[in-house]
Chain A
């Protein structure tokens, strides 16, 4: 089956620092998605990427759909305390099935 490797597993950073996390897949995807999950809530969509090479920003967040269609990264610039949470990547296959990474837990020190 499809394997999604997300790294790092966790990060401890100082407020104001930039953050980068990425996902790689054993197979190609048609869509890459990035979600954030706060405690006690479901994942919330941050950014959706639909084309290989696409670079998309949403405020302080920037994500890219890798040229090979097997990878994606998410950058967060100038982190703030409310960025704390778990970030998940997800890829959508040809069969409209979604595969999720294991998550990156982000901790931000004020």
Chain B
């Protein structure tokens, strides 16, 4: 009964490929996020969706396209993968209220070779 689940856990692919990471939450939250943690362990927000609507887009390259088919899912599609995209990607969700905590998934480790 995992609250925020991401698949796959590990993803190894070559430069230039297109890949997707899926995220699902069963907490009934309206807001979902994608965060990126690089090799230096900095955790930065990429996107935020509230009820399927894009709220935050932190100047992420156009190669990254989030898709929210419903408020329980927020998938991340990445086109033309580059070496610098290698990182751990975390999905999270929260209630829309301003001071509600985030619940994170356990991450997807993406390695681009």
A and B pair up: no
A residues with a Cβ closer than 8 A to B are none
